[in-house]
Structure 1
Amino acid sequence: MASTRKPTFKPATAPRQSKAGRPRGDSAEVISAQRSVEPEAKAPEKPATTAKSAVGGSKAAGRPAKDGKTLPADNVIAFPEPKKRRQRRLVLWTLSIVTVVVGALIAGAIFSPVLAVRTITVDGTTLLTPDAVQKALSGLEGKPLPQLSEQEINELLKPLVQVRSATMEARPPSELLVHVDERVPVALLKQGDSYVMVDVDGVQLGATKDLSAVALPLIDAGVGTTNTELFKAIAAVLDTLPADILARMSTASAASADAVELKLVDGKTVVWGNAEDRELKSKALEALLRMPADPKVPVSIYDVSVPRHPFTK
């Protein structure tokens, strides 16, 4: 006997859509036996290969692309660094290393106790003794030679009025040689029972009680102090004379700045005149004094006031 039971079907939970995206007009419940096939996954598009030169390593590796994805490192081509840039960097590195090494060597030399002053040698002294100069510079002992300067040495020698200036010479590892330029005395001034040696600037360089012990002319006491015009005129004349001729002078005086006169130790007179053309007058006087003496024509005056026409009488 045939069954009278009708088959039952469970309706779909959601209406199926047509290809146009709209639900079908009929809502009939249909059994579908169509096989569902998943679409094949699309392979990711390979990004275009970028070619950029890299300096010290490429920055493109791992760089995010426009779509938010990260570019793989093997997609970047790194070109070699230009030769000129590489050479320039090498030169800069070399210069930096050399600068550091030289700076270290200089710093070591400046502060190294190996170059500390242990011996001070002095030359050029006549009025002073080397011991006096060494004593004034004793504070430099133990100081590295590269740290010394001539300005510092001259400051230490200021109390010694006989020193006009001084220069230094470093003799590594530990010797300092000081060349002293002393003031030159040109005359004597009488002060009480003593005679004071003075230079062209009127600086007192020493004193003696024996006038004959120093071969320098005595400036007439009537001239006055060393800051007068007369003293400056006489001192300028004496400073021009050679040492051997200066030693032959006995006295120097001046009635005015234009009338300077000198007396030789043998009593003869030198008429000098003013302080102009001092070099030429000095050469003219030197020539006159070297002329052979003529007993028949004794000379008592040498006149060089007009140096281009000097004469004797």
Structure 2
Amino acid sequence: MVEPLPEPKVAPQLETEESQEAAKAPRQKRAPKAKKHDDAAEARTAARTNVLSFPAAKERRVRSGAGLRKHWRLWTSLAAIVVVAALLMLAVFFSPLLALKTITVDGSKLASADQVQSALASLKGKPLPRIDQSEVQKLLTGLVQVQSVTVEARPPSTLLVHLVERIPVAVLKNGEQYVLVDPQGIQLGTVADAAAAQLPLIDGGTGVIGQATFSAITAVLAALPTEVRAQMASASASSPDAVELTLVDGKKVTWGDASQMALKAKVLQTMLKNPPQAEPGKPALAPIKFYDVSAPKHPVTR
């Protein structure tokens, strides 16, 4: 009698196949787990990258903010300095502490200090920084004796005025008056005695001798050195080309026209300083009474 095959022999084989299929099934389900693992790794890498890069960006923002604050402080400081300087300038420019109280005059001979101070009286109380030279010159226009002026502020309240006056070269007799005149014929003042002025006298006004002749005489007198002009008693001319001078000792000078005036003045000065002397053993020369410098390269005395 044949015994039937035991069933357990077949069952294990089926279980083995099923188990193999079952084993395969989990292996197929592990793929998503690996993907998750890869995604997590990538996320951790990205996180590490972001963590490493974030401080650099933050540091740049910090540096940028510090730079802006530094520039802001710099510009604020500069603006404050400008404002303070402007306020100081305004304070100095308008401060009553620098108001003009005293006017000191230097160089006044023809124009008196009182005349100058009176002409500048309107400046009293004005701050020194606001007073300029042109304003002072304009206020002194009425004083014909003043040719130019310079000013010097001496804080806190003094203004020093330096005058350059016109130079008189002759005394003009006009009626009973003796008038000081400059080379342009501007009348600078009057004197009681013509001799006290130590200037040559021009007898007659421009209405008597004519403007051109008068200008020629004053131009000649202006060309003379001061020491030579002081020796002149009078000057006259029949025309602009025929100027004549008279010394205080009565000697005469024929000048001629207004050409070569510098050379003529130098020749005349030399002749007055060094009169001709007689040679040893010979009679003394007659005193000179006449000088002619109308041709300065060939002067004549007699």
Q: TM-score, normalised by structure 1?
A: 0.69
User: Which residue among 280, 284, 297 is the counterpart of 2:263?
Assistant: 280
Letter of the structure 1 residue corresponding to residue 299 of structure 2: P
**Structure possessing the higher relative contact order (Cα contacts under 8 Å, 6 or more residues apart):** 2
Is 2:241 the counterpart of 1:258?
A: yes
Is 2:234 the counterpart of 1:245?
A: no
Counterparts in 2 of 1:273 and 1:199: CA distance versus 1, 3 Å:
same
**Deviation for aligned residue 1:102:** 2.1
How much is the aligned-residue C-alpha RMSD, in angstroms? 3.6
Match in the other structure for 1:176? 159
Match in the other structure for 1:307? 296
| Aligned partner of residue 179 in structure 2, secondary structure | strand
User: Structure 2: how far apart are the matches of 1:157 and 1:311?
Assistant: 47
Counterparts in 2 of 1:280 and 1:273: CA distance versus 1, 3 Å:
same
User: Structure 1: how far apart are the matches of 2:242 and 2:295?
Assistant: 12
Match in the other structure for 1:267? 250
User: Structure 1: how far apart are the matches of 2:101 and 2:286?
Assistant: 64
Counterparts in 2 of 1:211 and 1:101: CA distance versus 1, 3 Å:
same
Q: Say if 1:225 and 1:231, in contact at 8 Å, map to a contact too.
A: no
Q: Say if 1:188 and 1:198, in contact at 8 Å, map to a contact too.
A: yes
Q: Say if 1:226 and 1:232, in contact at 8 Å, map to a contact too.
A: no
Q: TM-score, normalised by structure 2?
A: 0.71
Match in the other structure for 1:228? 211
User: Structure 2: how far apart are the matches of 1:89 and 1:310?
Assistant: 85
| Matched residue count | 252
Deviations 1:246-297 (A, max 9, x none): 1211111223322221111111112222222322322222111111564524
Structure number with the higher helix fraction is 2
- Map 1:53-202 → 2, pairs under 5 A: 77=58, 79=60, 80-81=63-64, 93-202=76-185
Deviations 1:26-74 (A, max 9, x none): xxxxxxxxxxxxxxxxxxx99997xxxxxxxxxxxxxxxxxxxxxxx99
Q: Say if 1:145 and 1:176, in contact at 8 Å, map to a contact too.
A: yes
Q: Say if 1:215 and 1:247, in contact at 8 Å, map to a contact too.
A: yes
User: Structure 2: how far apart are the matches of 1:107 and 1:239?
Assistant: 49
Q: Say if 1:124 and 1:181, in contact at 8 Å, map to a contact too.
A: yes
Structure 1 portions without partners, runs of 5+: 1-44, 50-72
Deviations 1:171-227 (A, max 9, x none): 111111001111111112222221221111111111234332321111242864697
Structure 2 portions without partners, runs of 5+: 1-42, 278-283
Deviations 1:232-251 (A, max 9, x none): 11111111222222121111
User: Structure 2: how far apart are the matches of 1:83 and 1:284?
Assistant: 85
Q: Say if 2:174 and 2:204, in contact at 8 Å, map to a contact too.
A: no
Counterparts in 2 of 1:74 and 1:173: CA distance versus 1, 3 Å:
same
